[in-house]
Amino acid sequence: MSRCSLWASAVGAMLMLAGPCAAAQPQPDAVRPALLDSTSAAPSAAPTLRLDSLLAAAARGNPSLQAARLKTEARAERGAQTGALPDPTVGATAFPVPLVTARGEQRTQWRVQQAIPFPGKRTLRREVADLGADVARADAQALEQTLALRIRRAYYTLVRVRSHEHSIRRFQADLEQFERAAIAQYEVGEEGQSAVLKAQIERQRLQTRLEGLASERQSALQTLARLTGRAALAERDTQVAIPSRPDLPSTAPDEALDRRPEAEKLRRRIQQSEREAELAKTEQWPDFTVGAQYFDIAASDLGPTMTGRDALALSVGVTVPLWRGKQEANIQEARIERRRAETQLEGLRLEVRTRLADLQQQIERHRRQLTLLDETLLPKAETALETSLSGYRTGQNDFLDLLDAERTLFQLRLQRASVFARLLTTQAEWERTAGRVGLADGGE
């Protein structure tokens, strides 16, 4: 084959590569979520995971969440227990040695007693137990929001991994064309052997990166399987639905605190401590005991004026709260617990306020980075690649210039995918901090 024929073949290969690059015009608003969407390159038989279905699966199947909900149900039953009257006491007495009364021999003695707490104690005990159930319910809600955040983090990791894999395979395909063109020019003496080796090394490096991404993908799938209770997720290949770019969030810190289940838990603990202090004060008042006794006395031949057969006695008693030290200690403990809960609530308020401000700044920074990538860097990198390709065809640039331009565009695509995933994750963290995320949410 002549040198001219080989050169023509190389130029033809370059023209095949130039077609897609020249057709990609910069679109400020659509820069391409397609660059991020790994499902847009080629159809795949792998099932597509959706965030809302994962959140719904976790709401149904997460073992920790189910245990927390069962704990709430169990605590809800305590109010009926603590607010009930104590069980009555029934007793009987027999006399191994006959006890003879003026009326006759006493055979047995029967009695029943009922303890009655001081008025108000039962109500306070029920309120304390009901507030404890509210605390358990808030714990379950907080766990639900935390699970939703962890699922979204793992899902957005899959989004980034799939996007990086798509960009790498796209770069690999371009490198194959580059390598063929470099080989053709090497054979006609227009390019050195280093260009061919450079393309081959780059392809091998990309394969190593694909292996690392496969490990990340498997780890994310294992996390989702564990959080949703669906073990099959970790055993098959999957695609992901790419979320849209989120809007800039805005909320007042006080509104966020009102929605946080952790804040609701602390408010209930404050109320519970107040009721416990009131209950400890009422423990200083006596409880009552009422009872009745029946005396079974046998009949005898004594005169009718001698009464006393089958006697009935009524009794009343009170407890004497003589040792006041333990009641005073209970009151002090309840007051200290209230102050502790109030301090924790104030700390949570400060944490929410500062965390929201920090996350909002991060979101704004990620959005600026995306805008810069979409509207400036990626379009310029595509233009630079087209220019390098044109110069390579005309002999003004060498192969390494072309490879460097392609690598720059590839790195920017990876950067965009990473920034977009960080934006989604930061948005999810912001919503968790604001109390606006749960297993029933998470729409895309």
Structure token digits, residue 357: 């401000």
Asked if residue 319 belongs to a domain, the reply is yes
Task: State the CATH number of the domain containing residue 421.
Answer: 1.20.1600.10
pLDDT for 414 equals: 95
The amino acid at 343: T
pLDDT for 200 equals: 78
Structure token digits, residue 377: 């860097």
The set of residues, in sequence order, having a beta carbon less than 8 Å from that of 17 and lying 6+ positions away, is 174, 177, 178, 181, 389
Range of the domain at 151: 3-433
For 240: left if phi > 0, alpha if psi spans -120 to 50, otherwise beta; the answer is beta
Asked if residue 438 belongs to a domain, the reply is no
- Residue 316's CB is within 10 A of a number of other CB atoms, namely 9
Overall number of domains in the chain: 1
Asked if residue 442 belongs to a domain, the reply is no
Q: Compute the distance between CA of residue 423 and CA of residue 429 in angstroms, rounded to an integer.
A: 10
Structure token digits, residue 74: 């169990």
pLDDT for 7 equals: 36
Asked if residue 440 belongs to a domain, the reply is no
* Pairing mode, strands 48-49 and 105-116: unpaired
Asked if residue 444 belongs to a domain, the reply is no
Helices (H) and strands (E) in the chain, counts: 12, 6
Query: Any idea what the Cα angle at residue 60 is, between residues 57 and 66, rounded to 5°?
Result: 135
Sign of CA dihedral 93, 97, 102, 105: positive
CB 219 within 8 A of CB 14: no
pLDDT for 10 equals: 43
Asked if residue 240 belongs to a domain, the reply is yes
Query: Any idea what the Cα angle at residue 403 is, between residues 400 and 405, rounded to 5°?
Result: 110
Q: Compute the distance between CA of residue 418 and CA of residue 156 in angstroms, rounded to an integer.
A: 10
For 112: left if phi > 0, alpha if psi spans -120 to 50, otherwise beta; the answer is beta
pLDDT for 102 equals: 64
Range 197-205, long-range pairs (CB < 8 A, 24+ positions): 198/399, 198/400, 198/403, 199/175, 199/399, 199/403, 202/175, 202/403, 202/407, 203/172, 203/175, 203/176, 203/179
Chunked mean pLDDT (size 10), the chain, 444 residues:
38 40 36 33 64 92 94 93 90 78 73 91 94 96 95 95 94 81 65 69 87 93 92 80 81 85 96 94 89 79 55 85 86 95 96 94 95 95 89 76 88 96 95 85 46
Model pTM greater than 0.85?
no
Asked if residue 303 belongs to a domain, the reply is yes
Asked if residue 441 belongs to a domain, the reply is no
